[in-house]
Amino acid sequence: MIKNTMHSLDDRIEEMDMKYKKIVGNLAANLAATTLKVKSRYFHRIGVSGKGTLKIYDNIKGLPDHKIFCPGKSYPVIVRHSNSLSADDDARIDARGAAIRILSDETSDSSLFDLTLKTGNAFYARTIANFATWLVCGLPAREEFVKRAPHVRDAVWTSLRHANSYAELHYYSNICRLFRFEDGQEMYVKFKLRPSDENISEEAGKVEPIGILPPDTGAIPRNDNDTRPLLFLAEDFQSRVNAKGVRYIFQLQVRPVPHDEAARDVALDCTKPWSESEFPYIDVGEVNINHNLSAEQSEQLDFNPFLRCHEVDVIRASSCSQSASIDHGRSLIYEICQHLRNGAPLPEAWKIFIEQSDVKVDLSGCPMAATLMKKDAQNVTLERTLFQTLWISVGEGGFVGSRAIAMPGVRVEVGGSLSALSLAMKEEIIKSR
């Protein structure tokens, strides 16, 4: 194969093997089609945001010298809270999010790095292949899977929260980064944002399971006797910021990078939280939010896991079966969708990446691609449904290019066999036995 050197390449794509590219490409194309149609985010659609400061403590115990998290330093920060799936009613039981942007200084909008945190100390998919398969499979297949991987079931339920206030919940990164210290040492790190009030425990808003897994929507309707406004969480956050501000404690959880590749993949597994007794959380600073952003400013925010720096880096992956594949893959998907949502020019490498997927997306709304499309092409076209396209990538046996296509609207009943799950999920089940 000969590379086209007439356009700039994206290292994230070049590092992926063919199966990894196929899965990420199909996910990106499907979400891009939805983004073009609705002009909004796919997940965490509506949010409320504020700006303030991250003040690093003068004395940090248990952390080697670090250029960013240096005692006494202070950084401007932006925090955006949101619900995972529910964009119309804050009273629904849902996962809650806290995206954080740490800026380099007050005079610049440049970001040191972005973090995306959520309620619950684990995620339900270890790899990007697992994530894509989870989207494809219906509830029966997922329930069959979690019976053999109960920690995944726990990750789903512990992410859901009853909420009275965004400011009274604990938020976790789940996916870790690579920390580089001043002495050259490297460690894995996870991040946490907790309320400044120590009386608010990690169990705040906990949802007791009412079945094997929540309903397909993931957002359970509010109780009939709940009379709170639809967007009361946003209103509460803004009121708190206007009154006395909102204060959080910023925490880190670090562990040495294992020498063995298999051990590193286990450490990066975001479906299993690290032991807090072995790797305790370290309080490194306080986040004080004292200025509300307008709805328009909040909508314009783009949080991207690939916004990072040398000292707080993203861990790369080359295969969709590696634990690091989620952060690596989603950074590309996020950025493609953000460009399309904002009407920004789409780099040629990304355009080609989408065009090579199994999804036919009309990019006439993309500034760079507009001249290549017919003038009368105005509607978004998606020749296959999300379920059909992803099934090609992660369907029977997990082989890319398989022509086993799930019929739209039909859920796969698993029964005693696991034919509905991809090879990647089958391997996870075998490991969990």
Q: Which residue is listed with tokens 């580089």?
A: 180
105: which DSSP letter? -
Q: What's the chain's Rg over C-alpha atoms?
A: 21
pLDDT number for residue 427:
52
Domain chopping of the chain, boundaries? 11-432
pLDDT number for residue 392:
38
The encoded tokens of residue 134 equal: 């989870």
pLDDT number for residue 43:
52
Rounded-to-integer distance, Cα 378 and Cα 37, Å: 11
pLDDT number for residue 385:
44
pLDDT number for residue 393:
39
pLDDT number for residue 98:
95
pLDDT number for residue 164:
94
pTM of full prediction above 0.85: no
Torsional sign, CA 323, 325, 326, 328: positive
Question: Measured between alpha carbons, how far is residue 190 from residues 172, 221, 290, 347 in Å?
Answer: 8, 32, 25, 31
Classify 11-432 by CATH class.
mainly beta
Residue 56 identity: I
Q: In this structure, are residues 412 and 395 in contact, taking their beta carbons and an 8 Å threshold?
A: no
Q: Give the phi and the psi of residue 72 in degrees, each rounded to 5.
A: 90, -10
By three-state DSSP, how is residue 395 classified? coil
Q: Give the phi and the psi of residue 326 in degrees, each rounded to 5.
A: -65, -55
Residue ranges of the chain with per-residue pLDDT less than 50:
1-7, 44, 368-426, 429-430, 432-433
Residues recorded for the chain: 433
Rounded-to-integer distance, Cα 384 and Cα 401, Å: 14
By three-state DSSP, how is residue 290 classified? strand
Q: In this structure, are residues 74 and 54 in contact, taking their beta carbons and an 8 Å threshold?
A: yes
Q: Give the phi and the psi of residue 379 in degrees, each rounded to 5.
A: -95, 150
pLDDT number for residue 219:
62
CB atoms within 10 A of CB 238: 16
pLDDT number for residue 132:
83
Rounded-to-integer distance, Cα 203 and Cα 211, Å: 19
pLDDT number for residue 217:
61
Kindly write down the DSSP assignment for every residue of 26-69, as one continuous string: HHHHHHHHHHHHHSS-SSS-SEEEEEEEEEE-S--SS----SSS
